[in-house]
Amino acid sequence: MKVLEGKASVVTGGGRGIGRGHCLRLAENGGAVVVNDVDLEEAKKVVAEIEQAGGKASANDSDIGTREGAAQLVDQCVSEFGRIDGCVNNAGIVRDRTFLKMTDSEFDDVFRIHAKGTFMCAQEAALRMKEQGGGGSIVNTVSAAHYGNFGQTNYAGAKGAIASMTYTWALELSRYGIRVNAISPSGSTRMSATYKGADGKEVEAPFVDPTLNGHFVAWLCSDDANWVTGQLFGTGRDRVLVVEQPRYGTGMFMPGGLTVAELQEHFRGSLGDKLESFGLMKSAYPFHDGVGPKPKS
Ligand SMILES: NC(=O)c1ccc[n+]([C@@H]2O[C@H](COP(=O)([O-])OP(=O)(O)OC[C@H]3O[C@@H](n4cnc5c(N)ncnc54)[C@H](O)[C@@H]3O)[C@@H](O)[C@H]2O)c1
């Protein structure tokens, strides 16, 4: 028996790129899939591909950045396949611009689809999973951009919000047996074609099969992974990586707390060489001479 036999899932933005791969892998492992995409023609093509291979799928063109769209997507899964066991929040857009030039609408559009869309779809799905008696798998999509990435205030911020929501929902939904994880995928897609290097220039990257992320998503939605929750994973290509979670690191301590005078005296010597590189590229501190892992005395 295939690992997803009897289970049904929705995949947002499943019409192309990484989401298409999730749909194909869920279906080839026996799951029924609602392939969502605002681009209905692309969603229908994926449905046809799944059906041709003997799988079960149906197309949905909800805008998942609206409450009606999120509710309608989950309704369709339950009315067509009798239940919902998996919710894969994958849909996304980019509107890159440097922070000082970014407009409100560029910020709002990206947050609406990534952060709020993930919130609404996951909530609609989790309510239905709870009603069914519990159990289920929510898979969100983050990006290494959430460590900070040049020109991506909106995208990095929304992905960081999704990471934090993933940890929070994993805590809240464990009582219903609903697991919540996120992947940070990789693949050559329409979106990845917009990526720029650290210098802001176009990069020529080798082709990476975007459908490879789907194997891990299918496994996460199976009962074999029924003990895995609250985790972020780097997926795609030839590996699966555990993304380390933010935590308090090394520190300095003083009974009664640290005054400005004490910080002036001790901070550089105690923590100056403990400060971490930051950003997706983990570049050294790009900040004059004042900040750096090895400060000048
Ligand atoms: N490609 C990469 O290397 C990479 C890296 C990190 C994270 N990601 C993430 O993976 C996910 C998929 O990205 P991709 O590279 O496959 O991009 P893509 O542009 O190829 O596919 C995204 C799909 O989402 C659909 N979509 C957009 N807005 C929607 C909406 N409101 N409702 C429903 N569908 C909508 C689009 O029509 C498109 O088919 C995104 O969340 C992205 O941020 C991608």
For the CA atoms of 257, 260, 264, 266, what is the dihedral angle to 10 degrees? 0
- Check pocket membership of 146 for ligand 1, CB cut-off 6 A: no
Give the three-state DSSP class for 155. helix
Ligand 1 centre and the CA of 272: distance in Å? 39
C-beta atoms surrounding 163 within 10 Å: 20
Ligand 1 centre and the CA of 190: distance in Å? 8
Q: What is the pLDDT of residues 217-230, one digit of tens each?
A: 999 999 999 999 99
- CATH class as words, domain 8-242: alpha beta
- The residues that are catalytic are 155
Q: Of all atoms in ligand 1, which is nearest to the CA of residue 117?
A: 31
pLDDT class for 295, splitting at 50, 70, 90?
Answer: very low
**CA 97 – CA 106 distance, rounded (Å):** 8
Q: What is the pLDDT of residues 228-243, one digit of tens each?
A: 999 999 999 999 999 9
Q: What is the pLDDT of residues 27-58, one digit of tens each?
A: 999 999 999 999 999 999 999 999 999 999 99
Q: What is the pLDDT of residues 116-165, one digit of tens each?
A: 999 999 999 999 999 999 999 999 999 999 999 999 999 999 999 999 99
Domain boundaries, the chain: 8-242, 249-297
Ligand 1 centre and the CA of 156: distance in Å? 14
The DSSP code sequence of 82-127 is S---EEE--------B-GGG--HHHHHHHIIIIIIHHHHHHHHHHH
The preferred substitution site among 12, 16, 18, 62 for testing ligand 1, maximizing ligand atoms within 8 Å of CB, is 18
pTM here? Answer: 0.95
User: Token pair for residue 98?
Assistant: 């440097």
**CA 215 – CA 235 distance, rounded (Å):** 9
